[in-house]
Amino acid sequence: MKPVVYYGSARQARLDAGETLPAKLDLIIDKLNLRDRVKDELVVLKMHTGNNLGYSTIHPLFVRKVVKAIRDGGGEPFIADVEWDVHGAETRGYTAEVLGCPIYPASGPSNKYFYSYHRPFKNIEDWRLAGLIKDATFMVNFAHAKGHPSCSYGGAMKNLALGCMAGETRSAMHDSCQFEPYFFPEMVKDAGIIQQVVAVCPVGGIVEDKHHPGQLHLHIENCNQCGRCLAVAPKGSLKIDKANFHVFMEACANSVDIVLSTFAKEKATHLVLATQMTPVCDCFGFTSMPIMNDAGIFGSDDIIAVDEAVLDATANSPLIEGNLPTSMEVHTREGHPLRWLHGPLKDPYMVTEFGQQLGIGSRQYELVDVLPVESIQFAPMGYIPAK
Ligand code: SF4
């Protein structure tokens, strides 16, 4: 049987509070039967509290509703996020007083509270799962959908994959992109060509390696795989290859597999708010400009299905190119708009594909609209002359 994804559209038929997204969140909470499931549970509400000057993260009004539902059901909620985002969360409106429960750094204030899981993957041997995530007995994963510079899309999977690991593992996950070699200096006869390769990249995607002068270092986050550097680099000396791009998405899937292995299947549920979707992750706080139409709110017990549903719902959204920083370039218009933005080797569906391969969930799902938008029939007015 396909997992169900409950969905509330961002659209309304009328100017009616009962049709707003917070009201639809209430309907999704009911459908997920959240209150009945959290009695006597220590519930971690994993969200992203943003960073710096970002204001596109989940509005406190939504978070407070989830916290209240947990309390109404007899659960003990707390919010967890990575330490560098929790420090300063109050500047973006997240306080215990507003949200109704405490906000903790998931691996402790000094990033030293974690449990190790041995799972060799590329450059990672042991994964450091944040201690407070493991201590919880129920997980409510509340993600904000947006773009991401490494994996193109940040949603439910990304919220757990990075946000539930201690700092050293988060860094190692990003470094996994460097695991497979992509630069072969023995193929370069003219050392001056290195500076030309660096200069041809319009987005700072490739630089001279600061630890190994004369070698090239690829900034995967910046690179949109336009191929200009390949046109300049001597043949065979440089690769822009999926081995260096897909690995981060596979690392995310492995991380989520570890996180969810600590909860019984019925003790985790996932919500995604797909509004004010920005080009890059909320970690940066660089921009809060939306680049796609708001899609709505989604909820499911299947983390893969809920992310897949968000991607499908936004797949045909126009990319609001006027809201993009001028430093970002669109050079392909195939596939999902986030793929246009981050390049063909950062297909947003790769995260759900790797997750499905690990058996975390299903890319096939049944979508249930909790409050379908009614189409309004206007009375035919016929011809009315202008006054
Ligand atoms: S492929 Fe394009 S964006 Fe990536 S490093 Fe090369 S020039 Fe830069």
For the stretch 82-95, pLDDT in tens is 998 999 999 999 99
Ligand 1 atom 5 nearest Cα = 205
pLDDT above 80 for 381:
no
Architecture of domain 181-240 in this structure: 2-Layer Sandwich (3.30)
> Ligand 1 pocket check: which of 225, 232, 327 to mutate, most ligand atoms within 8 Å of Cβ?
225
The mean pLDDT value for 279-295 works out to 89
Confidence of residue 377 (pLDDT cuts 50, 70, 90): confident
**Three-state SS for 93?**
coil
pLDDT of residue 382: 81
Q: How far is the CA of 201 from the centre of ligand 1 (A)?
A: 5
pLDDT > 90 in the chain, percent: 92
pLDDT of residue 383: 85
pLDDT of residue 283: 82
- What pLDDT digit, counting tens, does each position of 112-148 carry? 999 999 999 999 999 999 999 999 999 999 999 999 9
222: closest CA among 100, 358, 325?
325
**Residue 45 corresponds to which tokens in the numbers above?**
């509400």
Architecture of domain 4-176+244-369 in this structure: 3-Layer(aba) Sandwich (3.40)
> Position of tokens 């799962």?
129
- Residue 129 — φ and ψ, nearest 5°? -80, 130
Q: How far is the CA of 153 from the centre of ligand 1 (A)?
A: 20
pLDDT of residue 126: 98
Is the beta carbon of 207 within 6 A of some atom in ligand 1?
A: no
> Position of tokens 């994804």?
5
- What pLDDT digit, counting tens, does each position of 48-94 carry? 999 999 999 999 999 999 999 999 999 999 999 999 899 999 999 99
pLDDT above 90 for 311:
yes
Q: How far apart are CA 42 and CA 73, in angstroms?
A: 12
Tell me the torsion sign for CA atoms 361, 252, 78, 131. Answer: positive
Q: How far is the CA of 340 from the centre of ligand 1 (A)?
A: 14
**Residue 59 corresponds to which tokens in the numbers above?**
């509005």
Q: What is the pTM of this model?
A: 0.96
The mean pLDDT value for 29-41 works out to 98
> Ligand 1 pocket check: which of 177, 196, 201, 244 to mutate, most ligand atoms within 8 Å of Cβ?
201
Which stretch of DSSP H or E encloses residue 61?
A: helix 60-72
Q: How far apart are CA 119 and CA 166, in angstroms?
A: 15
Q: Can 4-176+244-369 and 181-240 be said to share one CATH topology?
A: no
> Ligand 1 pocket check: which of 203, 216, 239 to mutate, most ligand atoms within 8 Å of Cβ?
203
Written as one letter, the residue type at 68 is K
The domain segmentation of the chain, as residue ranges, is 4-176+244-369, 181-240
Q: How far apart are CA 76 and CA 45, in angstroms?
A: 10
